[in-house]
């Protein structure tokens, strides 16, 4: 019987039949005991001691050091799209097969992004908090119609955000490492996007910081910043300064450099925070988990 560790925290909750499918394939499973993202030391210890054949992986760091020590590991099946946390070169060298689930989360992340944008423009989260403590205080918001939305990273999710925002009458500009010729929106440089957009939404991959103090200073006064992609893309200290000064009118963040997030941005009223729920739309989550399990089972059969 193959042994598989499941590092994601809510695997199978919305469709328990996924776990039954693994049992049917004679695969024993162990769930993440910490119910949060694991650090490098924790995932190394678990994989080494458990002698697992496979890993249904979340966003824990699967570095060359981790993979080299996990001598029995043969398959990594990411429950998600991003592969930044997996050293794929090391995996290939060690003979570990790596899979992900592309295309599943497009609508889930794009709709969450639109929710952030509308909540920021109309101050929904702020006014909700005030109502809950008995304060009836009206604050003027703004329309999405007519605003310039700058999208950094124009893959499937970035394109879907553009479609949704266009339906509200927004203007779209975007930047991407590729030249995209058929897009209905205008492709511009990162510098121009930062200077021109009323709303900036991040949908790129990678670990490099895209928005720091320099970029925030170059933005329009009262800009809105949304990040549903990678926590590393924003310098959180620079963002705190930008929001505190009023340069940034509001920020909406679903991802953070360290998770669970307990930083100072949580002290600011005009920052909307969610606990990395981009994939937490029931329909998308179930499909993603099934795809990850199918990838795992098929790899064991080859």
- Residues known to be catalytic: 230, 259, 276
* Alpha carbons 113 and 252: distance in angstroms, whole number: 8
Q: Would you call 5 exposed, middle or buried from its count of C-beta atoms within 10 A (0-12, 13-18, 19+)?
A: buried
Using CA atoms, how far apart are residues 248 and 164, in angstroms rounded to an integer?
Answer: 23
Contact 275, 1 (CB under 8 A): no
Strands 199-202 and 2-6: unpaired
3-state secondary structure (DSSP) of residue 219? coil
Measured between alpha carbons, how far apart are the two ends of the chain, in Å? 15
Q: Are 36 and 261 in contact (CB under 8 A)?
A: no
Q: Rounded to an integer, what distance in angstroms lies between the CA atom of residue 32 and that of residue 263?
A: 24
Count of beta carbons in the 10 Å neighbourhood of residue 28: 12
- Residue 166 forms beta bridges with which residues? none
Task: Provide the strand spans (E) within 169-247.
Answer: 171-175, 186-187, 199-202, 223-227
- Coil/strand/helix, residue 17: helix
SS3 category, 236: helix
């Amino acid at each position: 019987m193959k042994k598989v560790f499941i590092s994601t925290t809510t695997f199978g909750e919305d469709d328990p039949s996924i776990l039954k499918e693994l049992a049917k394939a004679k695969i024993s499973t162990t769930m993440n005991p910490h119910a949060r993202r694991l650090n490098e030391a924790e995932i190394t210890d678990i994989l080494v001691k458990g002698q697992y054949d496979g890993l249904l992986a979340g966003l824990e760091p699967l570095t060359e050091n981790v993979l080299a020590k996990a001598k029995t590991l043969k398959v990594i099946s990411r429950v998600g799209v991003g592969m930044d946390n997996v050293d794929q070169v090391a995996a290939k060298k060690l003979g570990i097969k790596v899979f992900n689930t592309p295309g599943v989360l497009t609508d889930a992340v794009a709709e969450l992004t639109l929710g952030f944008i509308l909540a920021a423009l109309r101050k929904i989260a702020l006014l909700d908090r005030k109502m809950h403590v008995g304060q009836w205080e009206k604050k003027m918001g703004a329309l999405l119609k007519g605003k310039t939305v700058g999208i950094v990273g124009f893959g499937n999710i970035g394109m879907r955000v553009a479609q949704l925002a266009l339906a509200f009458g927004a203007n779209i500009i975007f930047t991407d490492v590729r030249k995209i010729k058929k897009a209905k929106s205008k492709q511009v440089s990162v510098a121009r996007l930062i200077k021109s957009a009323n709303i900036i939404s991040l949908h790129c991959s990678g670990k490099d910081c895209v928005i720091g103090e320099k970029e925030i200073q170059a933005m329009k006064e009262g800009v809105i910043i949304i990040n549903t992609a990678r926590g590393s893309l924003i310098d959180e200290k620079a963002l705190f300064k930008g929001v505190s000064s009023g340069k940034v009118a509001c920020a909406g963040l679903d991802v953070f450099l360290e998770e669970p997030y307990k930083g100072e941005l949580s002290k600011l009223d005009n920052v909307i925070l969610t606990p990395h729920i981009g994939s937490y739309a029931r329909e998308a989550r179930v499909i993603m988990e099934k795809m990850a399990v199918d990838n795992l089972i098929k790899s064991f059969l080859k």
